[in-house]
Amino acid sequence: MNNNIRRIPMNEKQLVVNFLNRHWGSNHPLVNNETLFEYYYADGNMTNFYVLEDGGEVAAVCGYIKCSEEENSDIWISIWCAKKGKNGLGLALMGAMKELTGAKVMSCNNIRENTMPFYTFLGYHPDKMDHFYRLADRNEYKMAVVNNKGIPESAKRENTKLVQMADIEMVKQNFAIPQNMKPQKDYWYINKRYFEYPHYEYKVYLLYSENQPVSLVVFRVNESDEGYVLRLVDYIGRKEDFHMLSGFIDELMAQYDCEYCDMYCWGVDGTQAGFVLRDEADTNIIPNYLNTLWQKNIDYFFFTSDPDGFMMFKADGDQDRKNLG
């Protein structure tokens, strides 16, 4: 292990903030906003940042977000930055992060497409997330640009139901989180990410089949001046059970008066639950940015250290957040 790499304690967090303000290119909201820094990166008396020092000065930093309360939690890389001319040291730090943290699975949501070769070089798997959507049956769409109104048939399976969870205690009482998931999330994470998130309200549902809990599904209603959109932002369960959501998406869109439901993900097949895959041949525009509305299709890219059985969704890592200063 490189002796010049060290984890930064909370009493030295300004070292990280100053470096990123100098070398990121703009003031990053997650490190300059005190509330968000505490939420994402504080871990007791330590931060979830490592720095690589060269010649007594910081040459690169890497921050991460934990998927669970475990000491060797799986992680999402959140911020990675190297000083100009020190890209090799930046790569060295990124290459060491999995061993430094003890994570079994290390991933990053929303990397730049032009950086994908760097992750391949380091032995990771970069890819593009799938973007699935399902339109509500309407005569007019104010946010989506609908040139082909294709709405696949989607009916509920027998003896399935979707029940909203009021808090983490209700989740604990009714749902045993499957083990050996990639990444492995826990109740601490679910509570922090969805029930205690400071800026958005999430709707957490438990999917049942034959009165047995199957999976946890998380939605967010995105409000804009033009109306509402439903976003499926997380799914915790076996990917083989995702099809059991069929029929429920229409009900939720009607309940919350949403124009469409969309889902950025990797590792599940949304078409099994009535979604349409937005591919290159699709002439519809399903906007990602609604505040303010930007009618453009957006692609998201990611990497993972272990793609076999891996699943990723929009809210993973530091994504699905307000762009706060």
Q: For position 36, which CATH number holds?
A: 3.40.630.30
- pLDDT at residue number 1: 43
42, 140: one domain = no
83, 226: one domain = no
Here the tokens at position 269 are: 């097949």
Which domain range does residue 291 map to? 130-298
Residue 170: name the closest of 140, 205, 202, 128 by CA.
205
Residue 230: name the closest of 248, 216, 213 by CA.
248
Cβ contact 305:107 at 8 Å:
yes
- Residue 103 belongs to a domain: yes
Residue where one domain finishes, among candidates 128, 146, 164: 128
257, 193: one domain = yes
Q: Residue 184: CB partners within 8 Å, gap ≥ 6?
A: 67, 68, 73, 74, 104, 105
- Residue 217 belongs to a domain: yes
- Residue 184 belongs to a domain: yes
102, 230: one domain = no
What is the C-alpha to C-alpha distance for residues 31 and 14, in angstroms, rounded to an integer?
9
- Residue 134 belongs to a domain: yes
283, 135: one domain = yes
- Residue 237 belongs to a domain: yes
What is the C-alpha to C-alpha distance for residues 276 and 317, in angstroms, rounded to an integer?
25
204, 263: one domain = yes
120, 145: one domain = no
Q: In this structure, what DSSP letter does residue 176 have? A: P
Please state, as a whole number, how many other Cβ atoms lie within 10 Å of the Cβ of residue 112. Answer: 8
- pLDDT at residue number 324: 56
116, 262: one domain = no
Q: Residue 203: CB partners within 8 Å, gap ≥ 6?
A: 164, 218, 219, 220, 221
- Residue 323 belongs to a domain: no
Cβ contact 287:133 at 8 Å:
no
193, 249: one domain = yes
- Residue 315 belongs to a domain: no
Cβ contact 110:264 at 8 Å:
no
Here the tokens at position 124 are: 């990771």
Cβ contact 320:220 at 8 Å:
yes
- pLDDT at residue number 76: 98
Q: Can you give the pLDDT of all 325 residues of the chain as single tens digits?
A: 445 999 999 999 999 999 999 999 778 889 998 999 999 999 999 999 999 999 989 999 999 999 999 999 999 999 999 999 999 999 999 999 999 999 999 999 999 999 999 999 999 999 999 999 999 999 999 999 999 999 999 999 999 999 999 999 999 999 999 999 999 999 999 999 999 998 899 999 999 999 999 999 999 999 999 999 999 999 999 999 999 999 999 999 999 999 999 999 999 999 999 999 999 999 999 999 998 899 999 999 999 999 999 999 999 999 998 765 4
53, 12: one domain = yes
- Residue 317 belongs to a domain: no
272, 185: one domain = yes
What total number of domains does the chain contain? 2
242, 117: one domain = no
Cβ contact 108:115 at 8 Å:
no
